Amino acid sequence: MSRTLTILVLLLGAAALAESALDVLTQALVAEPDVENYVGEKTIILYNGAQAEAMEVRVSFEAGGATRTDYISPPAMRERVVIDDGEDLYSYDPRLEVTVHSDSPQMMDDRLSDTERRDLIAGNYILELETNHEVAGRDAFQVEITSRHNATPHRILWIDSQNYLVLQTREECNDSAANTGFSWIEFNVEFSPDYFSEGQFTGTVVEEAAPVSKSARNELPEELGFVPVVPDKLPGGFILVETRLGYRANGQYAAHLSYTDGLEGLSVFEEAPEGSLSGQEIALGETKARLSKSANYSVLQWRAGDITYTLVGQLTNYGLYQVAAYFLTGE
């Protein structure tokens, strides 16, 4: 085989592998995975700096979209139950006999078409695929996910090669990390009729505060009392997918802008200045800001003019600062 032909074959093979990585990830995260009923146990380890927190949960899934999560450990969370039926989410604490009801996060996934999400992922991420891995006794693909903009966590997903269920994840962002994976999983199980019903919970039901309504951007100034900054696009490949008007804890209205880069979501809240900001003080050029972090997300706040801005998302420090700089300077 000639050198030119060898190089061509290698290039074609690399292109096919890259396309396959996008296909596998799309099938797992965008298209509906072809998964039958299952039950399994997951271990979740969260790292925040030098601190680590471990949890064990039992996850049950019913074909059609209902998921039940039972907490096994740590002791403080044992016997808590979360049920997500695709429209509503119920979080039950048996010790307090309180159920918190909120919208399912799955409802937010419908704001983009599968094609739009796939195109965003392809444009914003570098994907690498490996085969012949094993998780919980299942053959799995390994997909490594790296932001082209250094804006979001570095991730590795292990995806079931038969039904495209995500079996294990590992992600790193700044000085935080998270490892999640099934230790065992069993398919084709049967559940009792009320296993995924919130009617089994006793005690009080609390409705989680929700945004008042979806709002067009031209409707926001009248309710807010100021003109919010609403970019269609943000650094890191984020695009605007929804604007809402909601209440904050202080009783004020706030604009809630929702962005996505195909995989990661970013929320931007804008409200009239009131009270103090919380977190570690940092400098954004000549503007003072406050940064707070957990193992799952970061919160960056600052004031400019007559608006208090709050960014909430799982972004790198560089990604957060780039987004904040865009709101401050338009660049």
Mean pLDDT, the chain, integer: 88
Listed by start position, the domains of the chain span 3-207, 213-329
Residue 22 near residue 121 (C-beta atoms within 8 A): yes
pLDDT digits (tens, 9 = 90+) for 14-51: 444 444 899 999 999 876 677 899 999 999 999 988 88
Q: The tokens of 144 are what?
A: 């490594």
pLDDT digits (tens, 9 = 90+) for 188-197: 999 999 999 9
Q: What's the pTM?
A: 0.87
Angle between helices 114-124 and 3-29 (to 10 degrees): 130
Q: The tokens of 85 are what?
A: 């039926």
| Alpha-carbon gap, residue 84 to 197, rounded angstroms | 10
User: Is 290 strand, coil or helix?
Assistant: strand
Q: What is the 3-state secondary structure (H, E, C) of 206-241?
A: EECCCCCEECCHHHHHHHHCCCCCCCCEECCCEEEE
Beta bridge partners of 299: 292, 312
pLDDT digits (tens, 9 = 90+) for 83-136: 999 889 999 999 999 999 988 877 656 678 889 999 999 999 999 999 999 999
Q: Which CATH architecture has domain 3-207?
A: Clam (2.50)
pLDDT digits (tens, 9 = 90+) for 202-216: 999 998 755 556 677
| Alpha-carbon gap, residue 218 to 228, rounded angstroms | 10
Tell me the residue ranges of DSSP E strands in 27-151.
Answer: 38-48, 51-62, 66-73, 81-84, 88-93, 98-103, 125-135, 138-147
Q: The tokens of 146 are what?
A: 């790296």
Question: Closest Cα partner for 276 from 267, 289, 294, 285?
Answer: 289
Greatest C-alpha distance within the chain: 75
Q: Which phi and psi angles does 25 have, rounded to 5°?
A: -65, -40
| Alpha-carbon gap, residue 256 to 245, rounded angstroms | 6
| Alpha-carbon gap, residue 255 to 231, rounded angstroms | 13
Fold of 213-329: Phosphorylase Kinase; domain 1 (3.30.200)
